[in-house]
Amino acid sequence: MAHGREAWARRLCHLDGKDSLTHMVLQPIENFGRRVRSSIEGFGGLVRFTLSIIEGLASVRTWTRGERLSRQLFFVGTMSMPVVGLTGAFIGMILAFEGYLQFASIGQESRLGGVINLSMVKQIGPVLAAVMLAGRVGCALAAELGTMRVTEQLDAMRAMASDPIRVLVIPRFVACVAMIPALSVVSNLCGVLGGYLVTTKFYDADSSAYWRFSAQFINGYDILSGLIKSVFFGGAIGTIACYKGFTCDAGAEGVGRATTEAFVASFIAIIILSLVLAKVLNDIDLMINGGVQSVFN
């Protein structure tokens, strides 16, 4: 009888060991599958949220009533201009410092303005403005709407037959889309001015040649392409930030996590959109102009 109990105990231990080994093997697979499913569900929720925004844009009277839109335009645009302008100016100066010696080594320092200014208006200016907007405005929108969700203000609006997307989200989305081109222009102008001051005042390059080569190398399509990119950036920032706020978890920790995720997701979206739009807009430029004009021509 004792021998039978010992054999049964050994068998149980053997089964427990096999179950433990199986658990160790399958647990990482289960965790990976859970993350994949969560990511797919999150992307689906973002798509539905975006479609709700597009549908709600038709209710113009709702999201323009009172100060709903004007307050957001001031917060997104006017309040962001100082930091965007300051950052753009320093980026332009850095480009001038880094590029001048390279151009001076081949006697082409006067042509540096074309490179700096094209880089600013076509790529760096819009991306820089978008990153600043994501950091300053996107995080604020996610925190504000997340707090409203945690304190059940969104549920109270729905109980009173008021659509929180049309009242809260669309004014913020429109403000991001409408104001980021202006912020990009500010970033471009400050970057161009910063590069000009370093190149002509610090390094004593020819001022007239700086502007002449800049005008020769940059055309209207280059400026327009940068503004087109900024519109897509603003739409992505407004949508992602509001979505993260609307879907945040309960508590202060949930709001903080939503704020962080809003900036990270917006930054990734900006980089991906910048890559895709650079390819598409450059192909369109190639079809229109038939080639690339070199700064050394």
Rounded CA-CA distance 128/204 in Å is: 28
Owner of token pair 């949508």: 239
- Which pLDDT score, from 0 to 100, does residue 67 have? 83
- Which pLDDT score, from 0 to 100, does residue 15 have? 44
Contact 63, 54 (CB under 8 A): no
- Which pLDDT score, from 0 to 100, does residue 183 have? 93
CA-closest candidate to residue 120, choices 184, 198, 200 = 184
Rounded CA-CA distance 261/73 in Å is: 23
Give the chain's largest Cα–Cα span.
106
- Which pLDDT score, from 0 to 100, does residue 252 have? 82
Backbone phi and psi for residue 65, each to the nearest 5 degrees, phi listed first: -65, 140
Contact 258, 249 (CB under 8 A): yes
Q: Which two tokens stand for residue 245?
A: 């706020």
Rounded CA-CA distance 58/150 in Å is: 28
- DSSP letters spanning 200-231: IIIS---HHHHHHHHHHH--HHHHHHHHHHHH
Residue type, 294: S
**pLDDT tens track of the chain, all 297 residues?**
545 555 544 554 554 555 565 656 667 777 777 777 877 877 888 889 889 899 888 888 888 887 888 899 999 988 999 999 999 999 999 998 888 888 888 877 778 888 888 888 988 999 999 999 999 999 999 999 999 888 888 888 888 888 889 888 999 999 999 999 999 999 999 999 999 998 888 888 888 888 888 888 888 888 899 999 999 999 999 999 999 998 888 888 888 889 999 999 999 999 999 999 989 988 888 887 765 555 555
Rounded CA-CA distance 107/104 in Å is: 5
CA-closest candidate to residue 50, choices 173, 134, 138, 149 = 173
Contact 233, 125 (CB under 8 A): no
Rounded CA-CA distance 262/249 in Å is: 13
Q: Which two tokens stand for residue 82?
A: 């100082």
The number of residues making up the chain comes to 297
- Which pLDDT score, from 0 to 100, does residue 131 have? 93
Burial of 52 (0-12, 13-18, 19+ CB in 10 A): middle
How many helices (H) does the chain have, and how many strands (E)?
Answer: 13, 0
Tell how far CA 137 is from the center of its chain.
Answer: 11
- Which pLDDT score, from 0 to 100, does residue 290 have? 67
H helix intervals, 57-169: 60-63, 68-76, 81-104, 112-119, 125-133, 139-150, 153-159, 164
Q: Which residues of 227-257 are buried (b: 16+ CB within 10 A; e: fewer)?
A: bbbbbbbbbbbbbbbbbbbbbbeeeeebbeb
Rounded CA-CA distance 289/296 in Å is: 18
